[in-house]
């Protein structure tokens, strides 16, 4: 089998280099040609290689070609190779395919931005980094890709660097991601210390002792949780919505955040060695799914609703992987990439049409003006709510089925709880998605009638944020009259339509066993057998029960949303008095708590330590040594401000400790 992945890697890199160096001077057409071209060719090559892979026998579908020989010291050697197997192929297609659609869409969304070249350069860089992450064949280069996607995400979240909030969000994302990188690094060191290898082939074949396997897997999962925004490291993702919406769609919904799901699937032989780690994966996934869905119920910013929804759906994927059904997790990853990218791009279209408005309270009635966006958004909402026969139904169903299967096979009551969480979350998902949908499209337009109080609040908020914003970006919210709202240009609506089609048919790559076609499961049979072989089987009857319940939950959610918001979204001010509402609305006050518990003390410690050691605190009464210099030139008088004494004291202290230690040895 041929391995074109190196070219898939190099093309976006070239695009990034050319745009980064010369994009500033290029006309719009040239920027788009290079930006789209690099990603498009990468997708084309991936697709060609995919067809080539389909035509080879299953046993020969994995190809690992060494590209670069990096370190060789004694017994330790390290190569960088491109590993192309069905798993990385699937990821590659999703990354470049969805990436291409979002590249196309961005041309419309970012049309007025003076930083267009920069944007496409970053996008190409992200594609490069993500491809590197996916095709790396050693843990070390996985780490490099892992770090680089974090950097790309940092650059793109902070793309509108004129906004202080965007820069703060970018930093937060980066720092939390670094915690993940730290986990990955420690895992890698542990792997290396125990097995002496870093390449997937040798490490995944290695049997670790029980405790070590658990430690490695848990450290890996720390990395996954940070990258994929799982509890307790999810805080950065909602803030990351400060970035341009296409970025949210590409990086923070469809591809980068799923890197954690990919990593667990990639290292599944390790996870299979540790039932504890798998239980943690499943548990964290389930709790995150429910937790994030509950926050999404009350958010007012449409992008934030989608962000929490993403966190919740990622939780589903980990749930599947936690019950050995890695293929199910990947399946949901693929369908989620379709419909979540669709929803984000749809939200972007709405924001674009409304001149930067993101608040649900100022929307409504857009069905009449934004027909294409409306229809595609409805398809996306139906898909994520798990309504048959759209993509989300199949993948979510498979996940819930395998959780129930694990429950019945193991008899452990916690898996039943997990399953119930899954069903409840499905209902919540349907509810908040249709709350969002009705809020945007149903009822009458509320943008013109924003109350004075709300308006004032917004002005104040803007002052807090940053009043100095001058450059472009969808920052200045202009209140647009209903009649002035227009459907987005073709360049934006085409990707919406394509993604909508994929969201409808995408589920059929999954298993149709439920409907009497047990032989039909293209994705599962394409993926390596290790990714689903360990999953428990579910009798057809139970499968029907699980499916029926999740479908029922979905329909119930939609129905409730219709009951409350079908006539239009009314923001009920009396809800503000409700403590439970406040708790959820403020995202359980996690950010505030984190600041109080972690950020402030560390900063204070650093400052305090500096102050103490630099001598400000002791400054007042100190004369001592400085007296010696008294009366000399003005220069020396600077020295006698007392610091020298403190410094000398510090040194003396150190000397005494060290000498006393040595003396005690003697």
Partner 1 sequence: MTFTYSVSPQDWLGIAPIVVLVLMVLLTMSVDLLLPHAGKRSKHSGPANFAVLPIVALVGVLLALAVTIALFFIEHPASAFNNMIGSDNGTLYAYLIILIAGGLGVLLSPAYLKRLNLVHQGEYYALMLLAMTGMLLMAGATNFAIVFVGLEIFSLALYILCSFIDQRPTSQEAGMKYFLLSSFASAFLLYGISLIYAATGHTSFIDIQSFVATHSHGHAPLLLLTGMALLTVGFAFKVSAVPFQSWTPDVYQGAPAPVTAFMSIGTKVAALLAFVRVFGFMLSSVQNDWMPVVWGIAVLTIVAGNLMALGQSNIKRMLAYSSIAHGGYLLIGIVVSGAGQRHIGASAILFYLSCYLFMNIGAFGVISLLERRDNSGYELAELRGLWYRNPWLAGLLAFFLLALAGFPPMVGFAGKYYLFYAALVGGHPELLIIGILASVLGIYYYLRFIATMFMEGREGIRGTGRGESYGTARPEVPVTPTRRPIRNAVPAASSVTAVAERPLPTKVTSPVIRTSEPEPTRELEWMSWLALGIAALGTLVVGIILPFWLPTIQQAAQQLMR
Is 616 a binding residue for partner 1 by CB under 8 A? The answer is yes
Least CB distance to partner 1 at residue 612 (A): 10
Is 605 a binding residue for partner 1 by CB under 8 A? The answer is yes
Least CB distance to partner 1 at residue 139 (A): 12
Angle at 146 between CA 143 and CA 149, to 5 degrees: 150
Least CB distance to partner 1 at residue 655 (A): 5
- Of the candidates 489, 530, 559, 650, which one interacts with partner 1 according to CB under 8 A? 650
Least CB distance to partner 1 at residue 109 (A): 22
Is 654 a binding residue for partner 1 by CB under 8 A? The answer is yes
| Residues 315-334 within binding reach of partner 1 (CB under 8 A) | none
Closest CA to 88 of 70, 64, 66: 64
User: Residues in contact with partner 1, total (CB under 8 A)?
Assistant: 65
Q: Are 396 and 421 in contact (CB under 8 A)?
A: no
Least CB distance to partner 1 at residue 181 (A): 8
Q: What angle separates helix 116-135 from helix 28-54, to the nearest 10 degrees? A: 20
Least CB distance to partner 1 at residue 136 (A): 12
Least CB distance to partner 1 at residue 361 (A): 30
Q: Which one of the spans 268-276, 404-412, 491-499, 646-654 is the region binding partner 1 (CB under 8 A)? A: 646-654
Least CB distance to partner 1 at residue 16 (A): 13
- DSSP track, 510-577: S-BGGGTBTT--HHHHHS-GGGTTTSPP--HHHHHHHHHHHHHHHHHHHHHHHHHHTT-----GGGGG
Shorter beta-carbon distance to partner 1: residue 172 or 362: 172
Least CB distance to partner 1 at residue 77 (A): 10
> What radius of gyration, in Å, describes the C-alpha atoms of the chain?
27
DSSP 3-state of 296: helix
Least CB distance to partner 1 at residue 65 (A): 19
Is 361 a binding residue for partner 1 by CB under 8 A? The answer is no
Is 44 a binding residue for partner 1 by CB under 8 A? The answer is no
Q: Which one of the spans 56-64, 363-371, 457-465, 628-636 is the region binding partner 1 (CB under 8 A)? A: 628-636
Measured CA to CA, the distance from residue 361 to residue 300 in angstroms comes to 7
| Residues 164-193 within binding reach of partner 1 (CB under 8 A) | 164, 167, 170-171, 174-175, 178-179, 181-182, 185-186, 189, 192-193
Is 453 a binding residue for partner 1 by CB under 8 A? The answer is no
Q: Are 315 and 289 in contact (CB under 8 A)?
A: yes
Count of residues for the chain?
A: 666
Q: Are 145 and 129 in contact (CB under 8 A)?
A: yes
Q: Which one of the spans 158-166, 425-433, 454-462, 563-571 is the region binding partner 1 (CB under 8 A)? A: 158-166
Measured CA to CA, the distance from residue 239 to residue 210 in angstroms comes to 38
Is 70 a binding residue for partner 1 by CB under 8 A? The answer is yes
- Of the candidates 10, 22, 47, 151, which one interacts with partner 1 according to CB under 8 A? 151
Is 610 a binding residue for partner 1 by CB under 8 A? The answer is yes
Q: Which one of the spans 65-73, 117-125, 324-332, 352-360 is the region binding partner 1 (CB under 8 A)? A: 65-73
| Residues 192-231 within binding reach of partner 1 (CB under 8 A) | 192-193
- Of the candidates 72, 449, 576, 595, which one interacts with partner 1 according to CB under 8 A? 72
Is 655 a binding residue for partner 1 by CB under 8 A? The answer is yes
Measured CA to CA, the distance from residue 331 to residue 507 in angstroms comes to 8
Is 618 a binding residue for partner 1 by CB under 8 A? The answer is no
Q: Which one of the spans 42-50, 254-262, 284-292, 465-473 is the region binding partner 1 (CB under 8 A)? A: 465-473
- Of the candidates 25, 51, 57, 74, which one interacts with partner 1 according to CB under 8 A? 74
> Residue 638's Cα: distance from chain center in Å?
53
Shorter beta-carbon distance to partner 1: residue 515 or 662: 662
| Residues 90-119 within binding reach of partner 1 (CB under 8 A) | none
Q: Are 331 and 523 in contact (CB under 8 A)?
A: yes
- DSSP track, 245-275: HHHHHIIIIISGGGHHHHHHHHTHHHHTT-H
Q: Are 455 and 378 in contact (CB under 8 A)?
A: no
| Residues 567-596 within binding reach of partner 1 (CB under 8 A) | none
Task: State both tokens at 41.
Answer: 């060719």
Q: Which residue has the tokens 């491109």?
A: 82
Report the first-to-last Cα separation within the chain, whole angstroms: 69
Measured CA to CA, the distance from residue 477 to residue 352 in angstroms comes to 10
- Of the candidates 468, 483, 574, 620, which one interacts with partner 1 according to CB under 8 A? 468
Backbone angles phi, psi at 331, to 5 degrees: -60, -50
Closest CA to 245 of 105, 117, 118: 105
Q: Which one of the spans 102-110, 384-392, 483-491, 600-608 is the region binding partner 1 (CB under 8 A)? A: 600-608
Shorter beta-carbon distance to partner 1: residue 572 or 665: 665
Is 609 a binding residue for partner 1 by CB under 8 A? The answer is yes
Is 644 a binding residue for partner 1 by CB under 8 A? The answer is yes
- Name the region of 411 (left: φ>0; alpha: ψ -120 to 50; beta: rest): left
Task: State both tokens at 526.
Answer: 């394409």
Alpha helices (H) along 385-441 = 391-410, 413-441
Least CB distance to partner 1 at residue 253 (A): 24
Measured CA to CA, the distance from residue 554 to residue 94 in angstroms comes to 26
Least CB distance to partner 1 at residue 633 (A): 9
Q: Are 171 and 236 in contact (CB under 8 A)?
A: no
DSSP 3-state of 616: coil
DSSP 3-state of 76: strand
Measured CA to CA, the distance from residue 47 to residue 28 in angstroms comes to 28
Measured CA to CA, the distance from residue 644 to residue 614 in angstroms comes to 10
Is 598 a binding residue for partner 1 by CB under 8 A? The answer is no
Q: Which residues bind partner 1 (CB under 8 A)?
A: 70-74, 143-144, 147-148, 151, 158, 161-162, 164, 167, 170-171, 174-175, 178-179, 181-182, 185-186, 189, 192-193, 468, 470-471, 602-603, 605-607, 609-611, 613-614, 616, 634-636, 638-639, 641, 643-644, 646-648, 650-651, 653-655, 658-659, 661-663, 665-666
């Amino acid at each position: 089998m041929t391995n074109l992945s190196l070219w898939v890697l190099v093309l976006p890199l070239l695009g990034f280099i050319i745009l980064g160096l010369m994009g500033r001077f290029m006309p719009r057409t040239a920027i788009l040609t290079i930006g789209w071209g690099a990603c498009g060719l990468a997708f084309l090559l991936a697709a060609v290689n995919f067809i080539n892979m389909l035509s080879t026998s299953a046993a020969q579908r994995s190809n690992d070609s060494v590209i670069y020989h990096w370190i060789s010291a004694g017994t330790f050697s390290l190569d960088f190779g491109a590993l192309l197997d069905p798993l990385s192929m699937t990821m590659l297609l999703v990354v470049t395919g969805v990436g291409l659609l979002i590249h196309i869409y961005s041309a419309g969304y970012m049309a007025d931005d003076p930083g267009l070249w920069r944007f496409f350069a970053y996008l190409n860089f992200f594609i490069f980094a993500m491809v590197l992450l996916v095709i790396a064949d050693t843990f070390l280069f996985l780490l490099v890709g892992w770090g680089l996607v974090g950097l790309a995400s940092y650059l793109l979240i902070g793309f509108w660097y004129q906004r202080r909030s965007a820069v703060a969000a970018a930093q937060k994302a980066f720092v939390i991601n670094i915690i993940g990188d730290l986990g990955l690094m420690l895992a890698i060191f542990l792997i290396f210390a125990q097995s002496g290898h870093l390449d997937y082939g040798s490490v995944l074949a290695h049997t670790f002792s029980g405790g070590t396997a658990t430690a490695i897997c848990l450290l890996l999962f720390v990395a996954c949780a940070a990258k994929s925004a799982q509890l307790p490291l999810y805080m950065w993702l909602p803030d990351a919505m400060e970035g341009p919406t296409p970025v949210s769609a590409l990086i923070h919904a469809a591809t980068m955040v799923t890197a954690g799901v990919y990593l667990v699937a990639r290292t599944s032989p390790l996870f299979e060695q540790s039932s504890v780690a798998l239980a943690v994966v499943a548990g964290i996934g389930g709790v995150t799914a429910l937790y994030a869905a509950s926050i999404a119920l009350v958010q007012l910013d449409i992008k934030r609703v989608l962000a929490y929804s993403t966190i919740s759906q990622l939780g589903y994927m980990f749930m599947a992987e936690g019950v050995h059904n890695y293929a199910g997790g990947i399946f949901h990853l693929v369908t989620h990439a379709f419909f979540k990218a669709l929803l984000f791009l749809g939200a972007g279209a709405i924001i674009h049409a409304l001149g930067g408005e993101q608040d649900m309270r100022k929307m409504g009635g857009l069905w009449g003006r934004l027909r294409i966006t409306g229809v595609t958004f409805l398809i996306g909402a139906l898909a994520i709510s798990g309504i048959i026969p759209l993509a989300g139904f199949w993948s979510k169903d498979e996940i819930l089925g395998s959780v129930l299967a694990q429950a019945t096979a193991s008899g452990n009551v916690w898996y039943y709880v997990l399953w119930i969480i899954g069903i409840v979350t499905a209902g919540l998902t349907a509810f908040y998605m249709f709350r969002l949908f009705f809020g945007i499209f149903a009822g009458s337009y509320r943008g013109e009638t924003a109350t004075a109080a709300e308006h004032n609040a917004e002005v104040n908020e803007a002052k807090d944020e940053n009043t100095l914003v001058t450059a472009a970006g969808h920052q200045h919210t202009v209140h647009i009259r209903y009649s002035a709202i227009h459907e987005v240009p073709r360049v934006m609506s085409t990707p919406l339509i394509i993604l909508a089609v994929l969201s409808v048919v995408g589920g059929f790559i999954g298993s149709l066993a439920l409907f009497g076609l047990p032989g039909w499961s293209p994705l599962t049979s394409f993926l390596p057998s290790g990714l689903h072989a360990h999953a428990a089987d579910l009798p057809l009857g139970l499968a029907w029960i699980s499916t029926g319940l999740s479908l029922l939950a979905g329909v119930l959610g939609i129905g409730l949303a219709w009951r409350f918001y079908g006539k239009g979204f009314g923001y009920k001010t009396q809800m503000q008095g409700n403590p439970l509402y406040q708790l959820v609305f403020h995202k359980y006050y996690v950010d505030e708590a984190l600041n109080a518990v972690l950020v402030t003390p560390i900063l204070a410690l650093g400052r305090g330590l500096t102050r103490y050691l630099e001598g400000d605190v002791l400054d007042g009464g100190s004369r001592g040594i400085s007296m010696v210099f008294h009366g000399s030139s003005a220069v020396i008088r600077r020295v006698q401000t007392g610091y020298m004494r403190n410094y000398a004291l510090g040194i003396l202290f150190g000397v005494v400790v060290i000498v006393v230690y040595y003396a005690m040895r003697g």
